[in-house]
Structure 1
Amino acid sequence: MNIRTSTSRDVESIVALFTASVHLLAARNYTPEQLTAWAPKSPDLEQWSTKLSTLETLVAEFDGTMVGFITYTDNGHIVFLYTSPTFSRKGVASQLYEITSRVLLANGVCSLSTEASIEARPFFESKGFNVVEEQVVERNGMLLKRFAMAGVLASVEA
């Protein structure tokens, strides 16, 4: 697997992976209407491009095909972490997370935060995150449950 920094040419692949991941992997925990509201089948690529341009993004590829991506801010907020449904539970998210953690730690960031779906919550808990608050957010007219979570990369020594 190859992990690299994304480019503007990756937007369509990122959005396609995101949409497939939401609709296939989160289907156990959300209704079809919620999934469509969260990840519309006809996404706004310009809106995605704008959003991604403000974030650090790494993509994972296997045999030239994108199999996962992570986006984060310089202060340690993980905005997106998704894997292709065909590569779910094969270590892709963990590798993306570990590389991101090393980069952030090297830049002096010791705490992380994210908003995790019901599906993603166990992954983040396995990485030492704790639920800060259960949330209900509105996406395109539908209410979705998620969890604000926080984790620590390394203790700060006095």
Structure 2
Amino acid sequence: MNAPLPAALNLRSYQPHDLPALVALFQASVSQLTAQHYDAAQRQAWAPAAADMSAWQTRFASLELVIAEDGLVIAGFIGFSLDGHIDLLYCAPAYARQGVASALYAAAEQRLQAAGACELFTEASLVAQAFFARQGFSVQQAQTVTRGAVILPRMLMRKTLELR
């Protein structure tokens, strides 16, 4: 069941001028919302304070991006490929656990289903694992990603879409 969109939230497509705000939201989300599962060194490796903006620009250019806005404030965003890969899903700390991620995910799933994707997959952080499980994803395998000398655990998760 899809969560209703929080009252003031508007979903829209990414625009190039959103880049700095999305990177800042990503950094705040990782530093403030993941401490239960990742230590300070892991959070710093995952979201360094000095972001590589050209790398982010390249990454965003390869994805479909949907942004959730509350007025002029960006509450969250999702990035995905039409092959069914959910690459990014982050909420601003002030909007965590308020239905923003659910609304973004529902919009992405609808778009992916319309594009003909039969299966979705993501590399979920330990923080996001429960969220994706609630959306019908199941863990395929535990993985690690290395950033410098720091190892970050994550889960490869998949979901088969119903044919419509």
Please report the TM-score for the alignment, with normalisation by the length of structure 1.
0.96
Q: What do residues 95-129 of structure 1 show as CA deviations (whole Å, max 9, x unaligned)?
A: 00001111111111121000000000000000010
* Structure 2 equivalent of residue 26 of structure 1: 34
Q: 1:121 aligns with which of 111, 129, 149?
A: 129
Gaps of 5+ in 2: 1-8
* Identical-pair percentage: 40
Aligned to 2:61: 53
Runs (4+) of structure 1 moved beyond 4 Å? Answer: none
Q: 2:145 aligns with which of 125, 137, 152?
A: 137
RMSD between aligned alpha carbons? 1.0
Please give the per-residue CA displacement for 1:38-80, whole angstroms capped at 9, x wherever unaligned: 0001101111001100111011000211010000001110000
Name the SS of the counterpart of 1:104 in structure 2: helix
- Distance (Å, rounded) in 1 between the aligned partners of 2:128 and 2:147: 18
What is the TM-score normalised by the length of structure 2?
0.93
Shift in Å at residue 15 of structure 1?
0.3
Shift in Å, 1:152: 1.7
Which sections of structure 1, spanning at least 5 residues, go unmatched?
none
Amino acid in the other structure paired with 1:11: L
**1:102 and 1:23 mapped to 2: Cα distance?**
30
The number of equivalent residue pairs is 156
1:80 to 69, 76, 88: 88
Letter in 2 for 1:131: V
